[in-house]
Every structure is written in structure tokens, then in C-alpha cells.
Amino acid sequence: MNSRSSGILLHPTSLSNPYPIGDLGPSATAFVDFLVLSGQSWWQMLPIGPTGIGNSPYQSSSAFAGNQFLLSPDLLIEHGFLNRGDIESHVPGAPGKVDYFAMEQLKLKWFKKAYEQFEKKGGMVKRLEFEAFVRAESFWLNDFSLYLAVRDNEGTGDWTKWARELRTRKPEALVRARKHFTDDIRYHQFIQWQFSIQWKELRAYCESKAVQLIGDIPLFVSHESADVWVHPEIFKLDADGNMTVVAGVPPDYFTKTGQRWGEPVYRWDVLQGQNYNWWIERLRTALGRFGVIRLDHFIGYVRTYEVPSGDLTAENGQYQPGGGSAFFEAVSKALGSLPFIAEDLGVLTPEVIALREQLNLPGSRVLQFEFESELEKNIFPSKELPVNSVVYTGTHDNDTTEGWYRKLPTTQRKSLRKHLGANDQTVVRAMILAAMASRADRVIVPAQDLLDLGTEARMNIPGTVEGNWQWRLKDDALTTELAQRLRNLTGTCGRLGSEGHHSPPLRPDDNPSEKNAKLGHEPYEGQNHLNDQTDKYRHHAEGELKAEGKGNK
């Protein structure tokens, strides 16, 4: 990740297709083609595991499994598990919005048909491939499939409410359950096999086009998950499996009572005694799917804010140490290099900064936050951004840049326009330009910002459950004109990366010398020339932006 590059943040559920939800099929490869056409090197996604409460990808029933609803019916047909007639009568999805109810009704029916077709006419080759997959993924797959079978039978994912012998995983009870639910377990294994096949095809297509995938790993896992049921010893639970403390963040300027996230907290001492085996297997699985991983809530690897589970607010919590450097040393020893992005947003302590620097991980910067804190100081934040960082205009938890801008106080909007040399109509494009022209090695822009969309396209509002994770691209939203405009900007800012024509690294691969270089305090070789080029582009682009609107207002 050591050359100037850029990419787009878009979750597969947001892709446009004839179904109620985006998936890994033709719309995904079409998006890769758009990335190539627009000169982008990266496709960043949200977590791709099974979703939980409110359809959140950050509340999953497994830290290893893939989201079954990302399976493409078109690819199931192509692979011989469905016929076109099986899906022709479906109701098309609404444009611009995921329909989760229709998704579940339709796709579960299609998946059952695909599984039945496999069992009846799968053939020896496919059966051997399936059995090989089950063996290769045995660390998590068998228990996850059993968890789903029992969950569906018990009517709840809260395993603490199951029959005691299953809740406590008595060996004889597990043997009986596996025998009783044999067909259900095999069905869930089949679904994960098909997810693996479709994912590998997508990643191979990305690699053939010189596009890399960036994944996202939440630090915490849901209590209602196979992982906590199978490995209760690595979480802070009582004898009945209930959480004694939950993760959160303390009160601050934004939240007077703090945030109570509700996920179980790790016993890092137990994990260390197990040589972090569960975590290493989790990361191994993720790196088999993605080239780079965003570590959500990186601060939590240094210290975790724990709230008593019975509290309704986070006011009475306290910090406890996380895995720290010992954890990452074990990961590096087991897996080699650490192609991670540290999502280090929030209050950074010296310990967090020291760990990130020790690991030489790029940190995260969000221009909405950067500008919002500096608007009254007349400082242009993009010139101050570290080279070893990943810059976003916004994230899935932010409003879109257009929505954010419209909600700023009048004086701040005026100040921002002055900073950017933009007007009301061109401020979002100017924000993207500021990110692209910055010194940061990597820039990721949410698709909503590329399309200049407002609050209606927001992906998530933290702290709420209903109405999130629904936004989708409309048909033909990603036009050739948009791709060409983005490609021109990307090339001028030294980030062009499509079709294998990557810009040369601006800093050495070996020896990122010195602390100042790693922190971006001094420009790397070629940076002065790049600054000249981007300054020229900025002046040119500002003229174009003004011409498109009606002048600064």
C-alpha cells in the first residue's frame, strides 16, 4: 500500500440489479469495470458476514461466514444449481433501496431449490469439491452450521435461552443435535460453499483488472453468534453465558451519557494463553478474501471501555487493556505481513499512536471531521494530512458530504467554500479534489459523494436501528462521463491505477526511514513535483467548479 492510489467505498448490497439486494454477480463485475474505467485501484466494502439486528453488517452471527444474501441467483444458474424459470416470477427490487423483506422471502426459496438440485444432481465432482470445502473450513463451519440449525429450531439466536445441554455444549447433546439436524447443517454448509465460490470468482476478476479489495473487520462480535457460543471462555461472561460487561465509549462532547454498544468484551489474557488462535484464524479467513483489511475501532486493540452489562448508559464504565503489541506480534508470526488500515478515529492516546507507528499502519482521516474542526481557523487540512494514511471524504457512519455541508451553520459553509474555492453547487467535488490532491498515499471516496447525493443516500445513523443499510445505486448511475471525470482527476493527482498502470511509489519499499517520514512530516521523493502538479490542477479545477455554479455565495 505504498504508492499513491485511490478507490471507492461501496458495499455489495448497494449494487444495482433486478433483485431486492445487490450481490456478487454481474453487477459486481460491472462495478469493477467502472473502477477500471475511472482509474481506481481499490474497492472498499463493509463487513461481508451475516447481518444482525437492523440488518447491520457490524452485528453478525459469525466472524467467519459470508452473508448468504450476497449470493447471486444469476451465478447459481450459471453453475447449474438453478434454472432461469426458478427466478423469473420474482418482484423486481425498488430502485435506490434494499428491500430486506422481499430479499428474505425470495432468496431463501431460491437457496432451498439450489440445495435440492445439488443433492439430486450435483455429480461426483461437485460433491468432492463440497466435501473438500467443508474439511478446509472445519475450524468454524461445522459449529456455525449447527448454530444456525439450532437457532432456527429454538426460534432465537440468543443461545443462553436454549436447552441447558445445548447452551453449555455438552458433548453428548452436540452429537445428538448434529445427527438430528444433519440435513439442515449440510444446507448451511452448501450455502457457505457457494459463497466461497462466488467470492473467489469476484476476487479473481478484480485481480485480473488490477483492482484490490479492502475488507472491514469489526473489533467486537455479537453475543448472539456462533463464536461466543462455541468459545465462551474468551469473552467476559458469567456461568450462564450472560455478559458481565459490554463494550462502549465514555461520555464526550457528542454524547453526554456515552455509547453502550452492547457487544461482549474479550478476555485478552485467555486469548494470549491460546496464542490468539481464534483471532489468527479469523484474520486468516479475512485475508483469504481481501488484499487489505480495515481494522475497525483500532483504539480498542490498545484499551477497551467496558460498561457494566446492567447499565442503560455508558457513564459508569472503565478502560481495560486490549491485546496490544503482543497480539499483533503473534498475528505477524502466524500470517506474515500485516496489510491493515487502522481505523483510529476518536481520542488517540499516546499508546494508540505508538502501536500504530510500531506496526507502520496507515491511519484513517475523514475530511468532514478535519474540516469541521478547522473551519474557523482558516487552515486547509488536506495539506497537513500524513502521507501514511487513508483519507475519506466521509464514511458509512457519516452523512453524505452534501448532506453534511447543508447542515453546517451558515458561517461555516461560507468558510468552507472559501477554503475550497467552491460554491454551493460544487462543494462536494471540491472536497473530493482536496482529498485527491492531499499528500496522503491513499484516498477512498464513498460512492454517494461521487454522485453528489444528499442525506437521503446516507448508509447508517449510529445509535439507531431502523432504516439503515438500505441505500442502493440506481440503474445507470455510474455513467461513462462520471468515470472519465474521475479518471482525469485521479491521473492529474498522481493516483491513476487502472489496467495495471500504477503510479510509482513515492517512498522506498525498504526503510521508510525514519519516524518523520513515516508520519508524513517531510515530503517523500517526488512529493514536491506532485504538489506542484496538484496545485496546478487545483487552480484549474477551481475555475471549472466556479464555472459550473453561479459563483461563491
Q: What is the pLDDT of residues 449-474, one digit of tens each?
A: 999 999 999 999 987 888 999 999 99
Could you confirm whether 296 is annotated as catalytic?
yes
Distance separating alpha carbons of residues 354 and 532, to the nearest angstrom: 32
pLDDT-based confidence at residue 3 (cuts at 50, 70, 90): confident
Q: What is the mean pLDDT of the chain?
A: 89
Q: What is the pLDDT of residue 90?
A: 72
pLDDT at 511 over 50: no
pLDDT at 517 over 70: no
pLDDT at 522 over 60: no
Q: What is the pLDDT of residue 254?
A: 61
Do residues 226 and 162 touch, judged by C-beta distance below 8 A? Answer: no
| Of residues 149, 185, 146, 137, the one with CA closest to residue 169 | 146
Higher pLDDT among residues 449 and 536, named by residue: 449
Percent of the chain at pLDDT > 70 equals 87
Q: Point out the least confidently predicted range of 245-254, 436-445, 541-550.
A: 541-550
pLDDT at 523 over 80: no
> Active-site residue among 216, 263, 296, 441?
296
Q: CB count, 10 Å around CB of 465?
A: 11
Amino acid making up residue 267? R
Q: What is the pLDDT of residue 374?
A: 77
Could you confirm whether 74 is annotated as catalytic?
no
Distance separating alpha carbons of residues 407 and 409, to the nearest angstrom: 7
The angle formed by the CA atoms of residues 218, 213 and 362, to the nearest 5 degrees, is: 65
Distance separating alpha carbons of residues 228 and 267, to the nearest angstrom: 12
> Active-site residue among 137, 343, 402, 441?
343
Distance separating alpha carbons of residues 128 and 152, to the nearest angstrom: 28
Q: Point out the least confidently predicted range of 80-89, 194-203, 207-216, 358-367.
A: 80-89
Rounded to an integer, the average pLDDT of 420-430 is 94
pTM of the model: 0.90
Do residues 12 and 515 touch, judged by C-beta distance below 8 A? Answer: no
What sign results for the dihedral spanned by CA atoms 426, 427, 428, 433? positive
Could you confirm whether 343 is annotated as catalytic?
yes
pLDDT at 65 over 80: yes
| Of residues 274, 295, 302, 450, the one with CA closest to residue 364 | 295
Q: What is the pLDDT of residue 510?
A: 30
The grid coordinates listed for 290 are 481481501
Q: What is the pLDDT of residue 542?
A: 56
User: Which residues neighbour 127 within 8 Å (Cβ) at sequence distance 6 or greater?
Assistant: none
- Per-residue pLDDT of 101-129, as tens digits, reads 999 999 999 999 999 999 999 899 999 99
Rounded to an integer, the average pLDDT of 51-57 is 94
pLDDT-based confidence at residue 251 (cuts at 50, 70, 90): confident
Per-residue CA distances from 88 to 79, 92, 99, 140, 141 (Å): 17, 10, 18, 35, 32
> Active-site residue among 372, 384, 397, 452?
397
pLDDT-based confidence at residue 378 (cuts at 50, 70, 90): low
Q: Quick check: helix, strand or coil at residue 196?
A: helix
pLDDT at 445 over 80: yes
Per-residue CA distances from 46 to 4, 355, 413, 482, 497 (Å): 22, 24, 30, 23, 22
Higher pLDDT among residues 512 and 224, named by residue: 224
Q: CB count, 10 Å around CB of 550?
A: 10
Q: What is the pLDDT of residue 223?
A: 97
DSSP E strand boundaries for 259-354: 259-264, 292-295, 303-308, 318-321, 340-342
Rounded to an integer, the average pLDDT of 190-209 is 98
| Of residues 265, 221, 218, 261, the one with CA closest to residue 243 | 265
Q: What is the pLDDT of residue 1?
A: 53
Per-residue CA distances from 498 to 210, 226, 307, 392, 501 (Å): 6, 40, 46, 20, 6
pLDDT-based confidence at residue 303 (cuts at 50, 70, 90): very high
Q: CB count, 10 Å around CB of 115?
A: 20
Distance separating alpha carbons of residues 21 and 96, to the nearest angstrom: 10
- Host H or E run for residue 444: strand 442-446
| Of residues 290, 221, 281, the one with CA closest to residue 45 | 290
Per-residue CA distances from 312 to 8, 124, 224, 255, 266 (Å): 37, 55, 19, 14, 20
Q: What is the pLDDT of residue 21?
A: 96
pLDDT at 553 over 50: no
| Of residues 430, 446, 441, 425, the one with CA closest to residue 494 | 441
Distance separating alpha carbons of residues 113 and 92, to the nearest angstrom: 19
The grid coordinates listed for 82 are 438453478
382: left (phi over 0), alpha (psi -120 to 50) or beta: alpha
